[in-house]
Structure formats: C-alpha cells, structure tokens
Amino acid sequence: MAQTLLKVSGLKVAYGGIKAVKGVDLEVREKELVTLIGSNGAGKTTTMKAVTGTLAMEGGDIEYLGKSIKGKGSWDLVREGLVMVPEGRGVFTRMTITENLQMGAYIRSDKAGIAADIERMFTIFPRLRERKDQLAGTMSGGEQQMLAMGRALMSQPKVLLLDEPSMGLSPIMVDKIFEVVRDVSAQGVTILLVEQNARRALQIADRGYVMDSGEITMNGLGKDMLDDPKVRAAYLGE
C-alpha cells in the first residue's frame, strides 16, 4: 500500500464558540487524488485551512510525512511541500503572469529548474503563455485559477490542496480546470480537492469523503460513491 502523506485525526476547529469541525478523520496516500465534498458551510474550507496552518486547531492532530505538524505555520509547510490553492485564487493582481509564477518558486534557488518549470506551466496552461506579460488582475476568473494552480505547482509540492477550483467559472472553464487537475494527478502529484461540484470531483477522484455539519459522514472509492443512492440524492441532484 502507498505511503500515507497526510493524516488528519480527530480534528476540531471552532470559531467564537461555534464548532465548525467536529472530530474529522481523513487521510491522503502518495499519488492519490482524494476529494472532500459537501454542501456550503459543511466545514470543508475550515478543514483545509487547519491542515495548512492558516487556522488554529481546537483539538486533534495532523500528520504530514509521518510527523505531527500541529502548530506549524503555512510558510513552513510550503517549504516542506504542503501547498494550498485557496478559494478565491489570491493571485498578485499587479504582477504579470510570469512574475506570479516566479513568486511560486520563492523557496527555490535553482534558476535553470525554475525557468524549465515556468516553461512547463506554459505547456500545461497554454493560455498563460499567450498572456505571460499581462497583469494578473486583468485576466478572467478561469485564467486566474489556472495561474493560481500554476504558481502552486512552481513550489514543487508533495501534496497539493485545491479549495473550490471550479467555483464561479463558466462551464467551458470548469471542464478545463478538471482536465488539468486530472492531468496533474496523473503526473504523480498527490492532491486533496475540496469541491462543490460533487459529480465532477468524484469522477476523477480515487477516493472521496462526504462532510456534513463539520463531520465526515461517508467515505469510499470515488466510483462507488458516484453510484451510492445517498450521495446521488444529497449531492448529485438525483
């Protein structure tokens, strides 16, 4: 069995007395694409923020590469290869596309490798090549999402966390984003994907978890969950 890279055990997170995450357990193994689905307000993004050190935990533990990362900051975790593309993208709007990609490699010092990886991002995202000298703030939402993913990949992540990458995008751009996620996974990058589009997420995921009201209520193989009557009724609109 593949090595477990990320393991969340009994995770609890509270906001001002409101328990947003109530004892979540999940794990992501090497080279897996795992998705976390659920309705708005289920606690998915809160879980991701706790995993990446941008939100304090109330209880439980998070292990990355076999060691607890409880209390570690997000900057330290990026250096160790745990990288998140946040909901809302967060690109540097007053920098060009090329400059944004260079920022993604700020922890690296291998100039030739960085240049080669920028070229690789332009191959994965041809639209970014066309607009490489354009300011990121002038791009469409879908293009900014591609840039945010490309910038994260520039840091050479061991585990890539994607928070709602298809949110607010046109159907054509949603197709493109899911195609890229699948391709990046096929290249061996381990991915934890939070996504409201449950059908599309489960179609490409090795395994999935369902989150409801701060708790994991179901998990299984992606293909099995697509056929599960409860999942179909609650999240696939059937």
**What is the third-level CATH fold of 4-235?**
Rossmann fold (3.40.50)
pLDDT in tens, 78-121: 999 999 998 877 899 999 999 999 999 999 999 999 999 999 99
Q: What is the pLDDT of residue 46?
A: 94
Q: What does the alpha-carbon distance between residue 64 and residue 66 come to, in Å, rounded to a whole number?
A: 5
pLDDT exceeds cutoff 90 at 154: yes
40 three-class SS: coil
pLDDT exceeds cutoff 90 at 59: yes
Q: What are the C-alpha distances in Å from 231 to residues 25, 41, 216? A: 19, 17, 13
pLDDT in tens, 178-226: 999 999 999 999 999 999 899 999 999 999 999 999 999 999 999 999 9
Torsions phi, psi for 141 (to 5 deg) = -60, -40
Type of residue at 200: R
Which pair of tokens denotes residue 110? 């291998």
DSSP assignment of 154-206: TT--SEEEEESTTTT--HHHHHHHHHHHHHHHHTT-EEEEE-S-HHHHHHH-S
pTM given for the model = 0.93
Q: What does the alpha-carbon distance between residue 43 and residue 46 come to, in Å, rounded to a whole number?
A: 5
Q: Which of 155, 149, 52, 140 is nearest to 103 (CA)?
A: 155
Which pair of tokens denotes residue 40? 């708005």
| Beta-bridge partner residues of 163 | 194
Q: Say if residues 45 and 194 touch (Cβ distance below 8 Å).
A: yes
Type of residue at 78: V
Work out the mean pLDDT of the chain and round it to a whole number. Answer: 93
Q: What is the pLDDT of residue 238?
A: 57
Q: What is the pLDDT of residue 92?
A: 94
